[in-house]
């Protein structure tokens, strides 16, 4: 825990001095000091009788405290809360922008300040003081404050999105928020110091309040129209080397926060130390917390009683995961070959993206992939967490006594898994005449140098070629002069979300790849036009997000692909084969 907190604190400090904080510094500086030198009881804000003047000095601390609290809460819980409510993904950001505008107006107009205080007038002798307004300002800044997505922030975001919020995750988040807040507190205190020492701050309070209000509203407008991106792109990321060094030092702790197994020691040992022989991995966890079942009679659940005496394969998958799609033909072949001999498959569908929570999308995906075995919709990650799982796909082979005997993480090793299925069936039913082994081509990529899965949404996009992170909101991009290997760049106008990029006007993606095949996870209605080696192909896109092949080659090659997406399409990730 101490190591995780140190990682979070250092990661936050690096973020707090990164180029991405530059747009908020004027607001923090001015808001921290604009009222510090005001005499008690002056100005449009009513102060309780007898309140000492030094209480106004708490404002810088309250601004940064509000920022740290809201940033921590929204980063860790925002995805979960919005997933539970029928609200757009950027609701929190827009709410923060509205609050910034209202607070900016209140700074300039005393009548608006008094109007905001009215709901609190019923509290005896208490009104909303300037310092409390500072706390609200901090809360609003935290809702719109998007720091550079270093490794620590990425780990927190993924942990929050997948529901793996434990003590370690919370401590890491708090430590990160404290680290990021410390530099900002320095700027707020600097503003306060200037206010207390410079006469203009004492004699021109009215003008300075108006100036501060203009700056706050200006920040909200700049964030709304993404003007701040130009500043972030213009300033080189001077913290990049620090982030890389932190990642190397904290890979173990960060990986654990991103969902590495650890809740079940026996399953963890089998997953991290696989063998070609059957293992003793402990009692199989129950399949629980399932929202809905597919491919069962009338949607009825598969019960523990119905599995008694059977060899069971629990396969974790997501329908738009290309790795899962390559594994499913093998799983389906085993199910067809051995189900009459006491073998059962349960496909536990645990969503990676928000659209994979929708049962209709999963059902359509399962149909396209010819999945005929029972599918459990694990939208709350209950079974995923019970198995301490961390990958798509992942297979847990359970014997007739309910013990896990083998764990296969990722693709490949299909022959070994089938051999173990046959061993367990023979052990459970001596004398059984099993059919011949299945014969399904193994299409698992074997190149260690192949471009890894490339996420496009701001939450996990770590190969964006332009040197600054993607930030939520609508942005206009231009291709750089060149795109480094295994990275992507954008052109045109895009609406950037946490999980996906939504195409607006003249939206294009350029990707520098090394692969045989390129797959794009994309949804909506429209067309994707792909150009590779001077050849252009147009693909029709329709319906819920799914994987589309946008390039195929008989051999692995290094190259660049340019995609143009029609307005309204949402692109989630590239995967490769």
The string of pLDDT tens digits covering residues 31-60 is 666 555 444 443 433 334 444 444 446 778
Mean pLDDT of 194-219: 71
CA distances (Å), origin 91, targets 74, 143, 148, 155: 11, 10, 20, 22
Among 156-170, 419-433, 536-550, the least confident range: 156-170
Regarding predicted confidence, which is higher, 449 or 49?
449
Percent of the chain predicted with pLDDT > 70:
73
pLDDT in tens, 285-334: 999 999 999 999 999 999 988 899 999 999 999 888 777 888 899 999 99
Residues 6+ apart with CB under 8 A from 368: 546
* Residue 153: predicted pLDDT: 61
Yes or no: say if 394 and 408 are a contact pair by the CB < 8 Å rule.
yes
Instruction: Tell me what pLDDT residue 571 has.
Output: 93
Kindly report the length of the chain: 577
pLDDT category, 80, cuts 50, 70, 90? low
Most confident of 75-84, 96-105, 261-270, 282-291: 282-291
- The residue with greater pLDDT, 265 or 507, is 507
Q: What's the pLDDT score for residue 265?
A: 75
Structure tokens at 319: 């329908």
More confident residue, 23 or 538: 538
Q: In sequence order, what are the residues at sequence separation of 6 or more whose Cβ sits closer than 8 angstroms to the Cβ of residue 62? A: 131, 132, 134, 135, 138
Query: What is the per-residue DSSP string for 77-88?
Result: HHHHHHHHTT--
- Give the pLDDT confidence score for residue 78 in this predicted structure: 66
d(CA 33, CA 416): 68
- Alpha carbons 240 and 251: distance in angstroms, whole number: 16
Taking 70 as the threshold, does the pLDDT of residue 277 lie above it?
Answer: yes
Q: Is 151 a residue whose pLDDT tops 60?
A: no
Round to whole Å and give the CA distance between 478 and 564.
Answer: 13
């Amino acid at each position: 825990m101490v190591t995780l907190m140190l990682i979070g604190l250092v990661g936050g400090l690096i973020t707090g001095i990164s180029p991405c904080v530059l747009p908020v510094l004027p607001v923090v500086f001015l808001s921290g000091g604009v009222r510090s030198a005001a005499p008690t009881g002056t100005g449009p804000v009513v102060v309780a009788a007898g309140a000492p003047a030094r209480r106004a000095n708490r404002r810088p601390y309250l601004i940064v405290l509000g920022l740290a609290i809201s940033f921590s809460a929204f980063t860790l819980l925002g995805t979960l809360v919005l997933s539970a409510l029928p609200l757009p993904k950027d609701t929190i950001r827009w709410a923060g922008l509205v609050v910034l505008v209202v607070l900016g107006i209140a700074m300039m107009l005393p009548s608006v300040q008094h109007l905001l205080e009215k709901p609190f007038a019923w509290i005896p002798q208490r009104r909303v003081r300037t310092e409390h307004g500072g706390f609200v300002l901090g809360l609003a800044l935290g809702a719109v404050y998007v720091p550079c997505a270093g490794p620590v922030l990425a780990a927190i975001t993924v942990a929050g999105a997948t529901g793996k919020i434990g003590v370690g995750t919370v401590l890491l988040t708090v430590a990160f928020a404290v680290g990021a807040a410390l530099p900002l507190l320095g700027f707020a205190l600097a503003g306060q110091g200037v206010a207390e020492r410079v006469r203009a701050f004492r004699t021109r309070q009215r003008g300075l309040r108006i100036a501060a209000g203009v700056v706050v509203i200006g920040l909200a407008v700049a964030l709304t129209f993404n003007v701040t991106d130009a500043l972030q792109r213009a300033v080189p990321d001077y913290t990049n080397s620090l982030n890389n060094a932190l990642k190397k030092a904290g890979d173990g702790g960060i990986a654990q926060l991103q969902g590495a197994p650890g809740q079940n020691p026996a399953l963890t040992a089998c997953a991290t130390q696989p063998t070609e022989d059957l293992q003793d991995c402990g009692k199989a966890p129950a399949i629980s917390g399932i929202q809905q079942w597919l491919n069962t009679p009338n949607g009825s659940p598969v019960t523990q009683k119905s599995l008694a005496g059977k060899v069971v394969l629990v396969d974790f998958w997501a329908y738009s995961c290309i790795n899962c799609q390559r594994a499913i033909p093998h799983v389906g072949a085993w199910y067809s070959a051995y189900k009459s001999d006491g073998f059962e498959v349960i496909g536990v569908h645990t969503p990676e993206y928000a659209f994979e929570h929708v049962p209709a999308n999963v059902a359509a995906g399962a149909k396209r992939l010819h999945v005929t075995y029972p599918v459990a919709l694990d939208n709350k990650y209950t079974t995923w967490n019970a198995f301490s799982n961390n990958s798509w796909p992942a297979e847990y082979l359970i014997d007739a006594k309910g013990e896990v005997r083998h764990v296969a993480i990722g693709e490949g090793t299909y022959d070994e898994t089938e051999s173990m299925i046959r061993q367990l069936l023979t052990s459970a039913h001596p004398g059984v005449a099993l059919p011949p082994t299945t014969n399904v081509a193994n299409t698992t990529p074997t190149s260690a140098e192949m471009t890894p899965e490339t996420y496009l949404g701001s939450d996990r996009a770590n190969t964006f070629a332009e040197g600054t992170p993607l930030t939520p909101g609508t942005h206009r991009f231009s291709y750089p002069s060149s795109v480094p290997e295994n990275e992507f760049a954008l052109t045109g106008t895009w609406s950037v979300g946490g999980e996906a990029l939504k195409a607006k006007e003249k939206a294009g993606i350029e990707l520098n790849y090394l692969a045989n095949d390129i797959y794009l996870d994309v949804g909506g209605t429209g067309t994707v036009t792909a150009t590779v080696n001077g050849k252009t192909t147009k693909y029709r896109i329709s319906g819920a997000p799914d994987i589309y092949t946008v390039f195929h080659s008989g051999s692995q090659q290094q190259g660049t692909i340019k995609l143009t997406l029609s307005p309204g399409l949402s692109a989630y990730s590239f995967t490769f084969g």
